[in-house]
Amino acid sequence: MVNEQHLAVLRQGIPIWNNWRENNPDIRPNLSEADFTSVDLREADLSGVDLRQAVFYRANLSGTVFYRADLREANLSRANLARAYLPLANLTDANLSGANLTMANLIEANLRRANLSDADLSLADFSEADLSEAGLERTQVWNVNFNKAIFTGACLEDWQLNIATTFQDITCDYVYLQAHQQARRPLTGNFAPGECAKLFETALETIELAFRHGIDWKAFFISFQKLKIENDRPELSIQGIENKSNGTLFVKINLSPEANQTEIKNYLKLEYEAALKAIDAQPQNALAAQEDKLMIYRQHSADLTEVVKWLANRTE
């Protein structure tokens, strides 16, 4: 539980708190379970502080010092941690979803099972950090230093990286490409040395679109061609189509490593929806010739060979 005396000092303001910390180096403050929702704690010295299960939802923690702080099970969702200093901090089971961690220092931080979904880690330093079983779904990791980090069991669904993201000498036995420990890679056993980093490098050249309720191939073809022509992306190509047992269909698209994956994916999604509406608005007699075939592909997409063949014919 929080030490009310320690909390009272912090409530007097950051300058007084930092001065108190400097004059009392032997005291380890206990702010566990304290609620700092939306509180401005910029540049506070919270090094070594017990912050277990503390709530920092939407708090401003820009430049805050968390060196060796105990943040186990802390709620840092949507907090601003830009340029925060967290080397050797314990963030096991912490919630960092939607947090801003740009340019933050997390060298050797413990982030086992931490939730980093939808967070922005751009330009942050995670070298030697432990990200075992961490959730990195839709996380932006542009220009991040992950050298010597541990990724075993992490979920990397739709994470966004670029050619400046580094993965030298990482430890990674296996990862998941979908939430809830789905799409394990490798399917069994562990990665051979270097294989996990190679998987990350391949991700730079591929985006994956998920269609959970079937796909309208005509709408997809229209949006894909529009992307290539209007955005001058002639190098784009369809790498593969995969139909999962749960009915979700995945389309993998090859692109150049320097391409902005997020922009391309968002563009395709918007144009696909627009094409769907345009097709639905057409007179029924204009669609009659293709209706049966399109419905089969949209609802089932069972014969992927025929799907690819049909798509190829549509490009002629």
Report pLDDT digits (tens) over 19-73: 999 999 999 999 999 999 999 999 999 999 999 999 999 999 999 999 999 999 9
Give me 141's structure tokens: 């990791």
Q: List all residues 6 or more positions away from 261 whose beta carbon is below 8 Å from its beta carbon.
A: 160, 207, 255
Average pLDDT score over the chain: 88
Do 117 and 230 lie in one domain? The reply is no
- Percent of the chain at pLDDT > 70 equals 89
CATH code of residue 42 = 2.160.20
Q: Which domain holds residue 293?
A: 208-314
Best CA proximity match to 166, nearest among 146, 137, 196, 193: 146
**3 state SS of 229:** helix
Alpha carbon distances (Å) from 233 to 98, 138, 221, 298: 31, 24, 15, 26
Q: pLDDT higher for 18 or 304? A: 18
Say whether pLDDT at 308 is over 80.
no
Residue 115: strand pairing partners: 95, 135
177-197 mean pLDDT: 91
Among residues 182, 204, 226, the one where a domain terminates is: 204
Q: Write the DSSP string, 250-301.
A: EEEEE--TTS-HHHHHHHHHHHHHHHHHHHHHS-HHHHHHHHHHHHHHHHT-
> How many Cα atoms occupy the beta-carbon half-sphere of 7 within 13 Å?
15
Say whether pLDDT at 310 is over 80.
no
Do 135 and 219 lie in one domain? The reply is no
Do 68 and 212 lie in one domain? The reply is no
Note the pLDDT of residue 298: 47
Report pLDDT digits (tens) over 209-264: 888 778 888 888 888 888 888 888 777 888 778 777 667 788 888 887 777 787 88
Report pLDDT digits (tens) over 214-229: 888 888 888 888 888 8
Q: Write the DSSP string, 233-244.
A: -TT-EEEEEEE-
Do 184 and 215 lie in one domain? The reply is no
Q: How far is it between the farthest Cα atoms of the chain?
A: 82
Do 166 and 235 lie in one domain? The reply is no
Among residues 150, 185, 204, the one where a domain terminates is: 204
Best CA proximity match to 204, nearest among 159, 251, 250: 159
300-309 mean pLDDT: 44
Among residues 152, 186, 204, the one where a domain terminates is: 204
In what side-by-side order are the strands of the sheet with 237-243? 206-211, 249-254, 237-243
Do 244 and 192 lie in one domain? The reply is no
Do 166 and 83 lie in one domain? The reply is yes
Note the pLDDT of residue 306: 52
Do 256 and 284 lie in one domain? The reply is yes
Are 254 and 240 contacting, i.e. CB atoms less than 8 angstroms apart?
A: no
Looking up tokens 């300058």 gives: 15
Do 179 and 309 lie in one domain? The reply is no
Residue 55: strand pairing partners: 35, 75
Give me 18's structure tokens: 């930092």
Are 6 and 32 contacting, i.e. CB atoms less than 8 angstroms apart?
A: no
Do 164 and 238 lie in one domain? The reply is no
Do 217 and 195 lie in one domain? The reply is no
Do 26 and 158 lie in one domain? The reply is yes
What's the domain count of the chain? 2
Helix %, strand %, coil % of the chain (to 5) = 30, 20, 55
- φ, ψ at 192 (rounded to 5°): -75, 160
Note the pLDDT of residue 286: 54
